[in-house]
Amino acid sequence: MLVVAPPCSKQSRFIVLLIITLWSLFFILEVGADSNNFVTAREEALSLGQFSSQDNNSHYIITAPHGGYDLMTEVIVRKVCDNILWNCLIAQDFRSKSHPLNVNRPTEKYGVSSNHEVRTDRALYVYDEYLRQIYLINKAPKLYVEIHGNSRNESKNRIEIATVGIKDDQARRIKLILQNALSSTKLTQSIAIEHIDYIYYHATSSKAQGSLSKIKPALHFEFPKSSRTIKTDEVVDFLSLALPKLALELFP
């Protein structure tokens, strides 16, 4: 026997429509709140420091991800950028003891090894902006260079260079070019480059989940504190001599 359902009353239809409308409104408000929370959290993270860039229409870029923390790296990058007219990016004051953001990777933590760094939302917001700033001036750089510093006593006599996308024969040539440039300055450190020499700073975390996992070829410089703070101009001269030669010979 065919059973015919009684037609819905106008009141029933109104109730159904009201429920649907209220549910839709609730969903829209929730999405809007989440979006506003995201914007606020991102703005708060980016307010912890500032980015400054210079676009010289170059195929090469040099950056200082830890300006203000790796002392004088921001000054070094700015002066080298002016000298050789590469593109440059400086991230200033994002990394400190109170908010130890790593900038060139979506993690933070102070005084720990790379495998103990912690991924956080604010670190991700700053890292995403760091990449965005790079891509604005260099969508596919022929060479990407990061300038860092350390105060490790065991590394005070070395300028260490970690590499990404660099072959062994290139590494040997890079080392020779760097040594020749170094001999023209008053810096007393030696050059130690990954895959040829022992280095302590391999940029492991950045290679796994940061800028060095995305932008290749790349050189990651670690300068001891004494050279950065006492012989800043010598470091500037060294990089201003070496980097253009590297670009011309190996990354034209």
Phi-psi region of 72 (alpha: psi -120 to 50; beta: other; left: phi over 0): left
Identify whether 19 is part of a domain. Answer: no
Predicted local distance difference test score (pLDDT) of residue 3 = 46
Predicted local distance difference test score (pLDDT) of residue 114 = 73
- The span from the first CA to the last CA of the chain, in angstroms, equals 85
Closest CA to 232 of 71, 82, 61, 95: 71
Domain of residue 77, CATH code: 3.40.630.40
Closest CA to 176 of 165, 161, 154: 161
CA distances from 89 to 51, 67, 239 (A): 7, 10, 16
Number of domains in the chain: 1
Identify whether 27 is part of a domain. Answer: no
Identify whether 17 is part of a domain. Answer: no
Lookup result for tokens 């065991």? 154
Predicted local distance difference test score (pLDDT) of residue 227 = 97
Predicted local distance difference test score (pLDDT) of residue 153 = 96
Q: Report the amino acid identity of residue 38.
A: F
Q: Are 202 and 140 in contact (CB under 8 A)?
A: no
Identify whether 25 is part of a domain. Answer: no
Identify whether 226 is part of a domain. Answer: yes
Which strands form 158-164's sheet, in the order they lie side by side?
50-54, 87-92, 60-67, 143-150, 218-224, 158-164, 190-193
Phi, psi dihedral angles at 149 (to 5 degrees) = -140, 160
One pLDDT digit (tens) per residue for the chain, 252 residues? 444 445 556 677 767 666 776 665 555 545 444 556 657 999 999 999 999 999 999 999 999 999 999 999 999 999 999 999 999 999 999 999 999 999 999 999 877 777 789 999 999 999 999 999 999 999 999 999 999 999 999 999 999 999 999 999 999 999 999 999 999 999 999 999 999 999 999 999 999 999 999 999 999 999 999 999 999 999 999 999 999 999 999 999
Q: What share of the chain is helix, strand, coil (3-state, %, to 5)?
A: 50, 20, 30
Around Cβ 41, how many Cβ atoms within 10 Å? 14
Identify whether 2 is part of a domain. Answer: no
The SS3 of residue 121 is helix
The pTM of this model reads 0.84
Cα separation, 32 vs 36, in Å, equals 6
Domain encompassing residue 102:
43-250
Closest CA to 160 of 105, 220, 208, 216: 220
Q: Are 157 and 188 in contact (CB under 8 A)?
A: yes
Query: Strands 143-150 and 60-67: what pairing?
Result: parallel
Identify whether 18 is part of a domain. Answer: no
Identify whether 20 is part of a domain. Answer: no
The SS3 of residue 252 is coil
